[in-house]
Amino acid sequence: MTRMSAPLNLPAFNLADTIRTIPDYPKPGILFRDITTLLGDARAFRRAVDELVQPFAGSKIDKVAGIEARGFILGGAVAHQLSAGFIPLRKKGKLPHKTVSVEYALEYGVDHMEMHHDAVLAGEKVVLVDDLIATGGTAEAAIKLLRGAGADVVAACFVVDLPDLGGADKLRDMGIEVSILLAFEGH
């Protein structure tokens, strides 16, 4: 005997309400948008992943690249839904095999992002995923790294955009389609 359950008639909810805001972190004047509360809510996590995947439904995406660390969580789930491979983009010295690297500017100094030298084949269609875009420096570096390895970066997806900081526009100026679920004012 097959048992069927009744459809769930759950009330609508606002995805933004599942994101915690932490004032003055990591420094005074900053409102940190913490998606760990979204990730901890099964319904919100599922909805966010579904919405990140939606623009690519029916498209051939070869790989999804995720920026360390929350981009790994989201990117892995997106890659699974798209039946694509996953590329971890990590801080310098964290990957065990031969890597390629890009240096990029931070507010105070520089940093490096790496991926395995054989993570992507020339011409593979790649979607970049991370939790948040602010100034766009890290995402820009990721795109340069992927393109330098021959990837065709078709889009970048983020749960949160801080449009006052201009990062999404910076990526659009690079010819990248940008998909964003939520925007918050401020820094």
CB 183 within 8 A of CB 26: no
CB 36 within 8 A of CB 20: yes
Output the CA torsion 7→181→83→176 (10° steps).
Answer: 160
DSSP 82: H
**Residues that are catalytic:** 70, 107
Structure tokens at 139: 């995402």
